[in-house]
Amino acid sequence: MFEITYVQRVKAPVSSEEYEKIKKMLLDAQSKFKDYIPTIELEKSKASAKIKNQIQYVADQEGINVKVTRRKNQLLLKFSGQKVKSTRMSDDDAAEIVLNHMKKEGKIFARGELAKALDMTPVKVSRALKLLVGKKKVVSEGNMPKIKYRAK
């Protein structure tokens, strides 16, 4: 006799037109940028997770060995054999940037104001401020949740 198997249909995350466009982009990036890390700049309104999944889907279908890494408004394409240099900022570097900004402006800041002004994540600013308060280079004023900070 015969056996029936059921396979769930999965809708492809890209149309055939998008598929060809992404495939061409991946092949160009792979051939032209062997010494560089290709990046895709995204508009702020674009859903980077969706685009990342589309690129990864096409790469998997075509057998292109690539890792797509999300960054703020940017996607990095890492083909096999490439090393991606980390661009993660250390807490000490963040603390120096925060302190310099506070001294330059000469005013009292809330944590969120610093994050927005310096285009850093609130967590990175918090860690920098904690480090600076510990080194007694910054003074905190007020109580939670409305703590303000000023440079000494």
CB-CB neighbours of 149 under 10 Å: 21
DSSP track, 108-126 = -EEHHHHHHHHT--HHHHH
Same domain for 57 and 36?
Answer: yes
pLDDT of the residue at 138: 92
Phi, psi of 30 (to 5 degrees): -65, -40
Residue 51 pLDDT > 90, yes or no? no
**pLDDT confidence tier of residue 127, bands split at 50, 70 and 90:** very high
Neighbours of 140 (CB within 10 A): 14
d(CA 142, CA 150): 11
The answer to whether position 30 is within a domain reads yes
Same domain, 74 and 26: yes
Amino acid at 21: K
- Residue 138, amino acid: V
Which of 79, 103, 125 is the last residue before a domain boundary?
Answer: 79
Give the β-pairing of 148-151 and 66-71: unpaired
Q: Stretch 52-78: mean pLDDT, rounded?
A: 84
At 60 the pLDDT is 87
Give the pLDDT band (50/70/90) at residue 132. Answer: very high
Same domain, 60 and 98: no
Least confident interval from 15-19, 73-77, 101-105, 134-138: 73-77
45 pLDDT band (50/70/90 cuts)?
Answer: low
CA distance 152 to 136: 8
Are the beta carbons of 50 and 68 closer than 8 angstroms? no
Q: What is the CATH number of the domain that holds 109?
A: 1.10.10.10
> Which domain range does residue 117 map to?
91-151
Same domain? 73 vs 95: no
Residue type, 78: K
Residue 85 within any structural domain of the chain: no
| 1 falls within a domain | no
pLDDT band, very low/low/confident/very high, at 135 (cuts 50, 70, 90): very high
pTM of the shown model? 0.47
Please give the average per-residue pLDDT across 116-131, as a whole number: 88
Last residue of a domain, one of 37, 59, 79: 79
How far is residue 98's CA from residue 119's CA, in Å, rounded to a whole number?
Answer: 11
82: pLDDT strictly greater than 60:
no
Partnered with residue 69 across adjacent β-strands are: 76
- Whether 50 and 99 map to the same domain: the answer is no
Based on the fold, state whether residues 22 and 75 are members of the same structural domain.
Answer: yes
Is residue 24 scored above 80 in pLDDT?
yes
How many domains would you assign to the chain?
Answer: 2
